[in-house]
Structure 1
Amino acid sequence: MELLIPSEQAITGHPVPDASLKDISFFHASEGKPLATPWQVAMTRADYIAQFELPSGVVLDCACGSGIQLAAYASRLKRPALGIELDYDRAIATCLNLNTIARRFSTYGQGWHRRSIVVAGDGTASDEISSIAGFENNSIALLMLDPARPRNSRTHDLDEMQPNLPSVFAAWKPYLASTEKGPCIV
């Protein structure tokens, strides 16, 4: 498990133009591009969530891939991001993509971006991650999760997703802030 600070990451590789908005390019580790959410889709989702009153805290993605959706939520909601990705190279891509979006919106090194972190590790290791990241109970405002599904498959089952959804929910439950309707999970 390794804690990564987005602003401290050196650029590695070459960014690829986004499928939905050609004037922005994102970093992807091997096999990451086909799984990445297009920027306009990511921002549409973030705009929708922004309509709701969220508790204070961090936006958490336990299987962030290259971090495009996480960057959309963090920048739109103006909340620090905690991205967790099992694949180290994809975790680096997440850092670089958080930097890309912070630069695009002139928030690099400020506010949400300054407080964002990425962990290369297991998305269900909540206690260990919270310990190294300094999080306490009720510090996660929004848990968003769209884990990898098996490739080359037309149908999917929730049990196929990794990390496993029930394991993620059980692991992070103590850290989720709540509203009168319960915790915020997407």
Structure 2
Amino acid sequence: MTYDPIGRLLLTPVDREAPERVARLRALGLGERPEPAFDAFARELAQLTGAPYAMVNFLGEECQFFAGLHAPSRAGEGRFMARDLGYCPYVVVRRKALVLEDVRDFPRFAANALVDEIGIRSYLGAPLIDRTGLALGTVCVADTEPRRWGRSGLDTIKSFAAELMTRIRRREDGLIIW
């Protein structure tokens, strides 16, 4: 974590792997354009969890890119988001799943602009760990209501992250084409 000049804790932790991640994403051909297969993956995750928002999110040095997106129509127009917004950058740097049943219960996360701008109240995300050991991004869901994700939610998001990484590996190996 870092602090700004007046001593406030910043949400986005220092991400020392960002340059290496960007190079890996480019090598994989990911993180620069929407992909229908990732949109379908996000839609399936949203349907399974009942969450209005689901994303396949890749993180660059300056921004986040939703290569897969399921969102209410008006909110789903943009695929880019600043790195200091949302909860995914924290998941990537931590390299662990994050469960926030009510973001307002956590001072570090309650002040995030997504709470005020979109009304996000709960989040569930897991990192996408590549075969090289890099965290490329996340698979996540969010809701405008507090949610009790519980153990089953955590297991679901981890399972979806593992499934997506399997598909990405198979794509890299030329075994499947999306």
Could you say whether these structures have the same fold, taking a TM-score greater than 0.5 normalized by the shorter chain as the test? no
Indicate the structure with greater strand content.
2
| TM-score, normalised relative to structure 2 | 0.36
| TM-score, normalised relative to structure 1 | 0.35
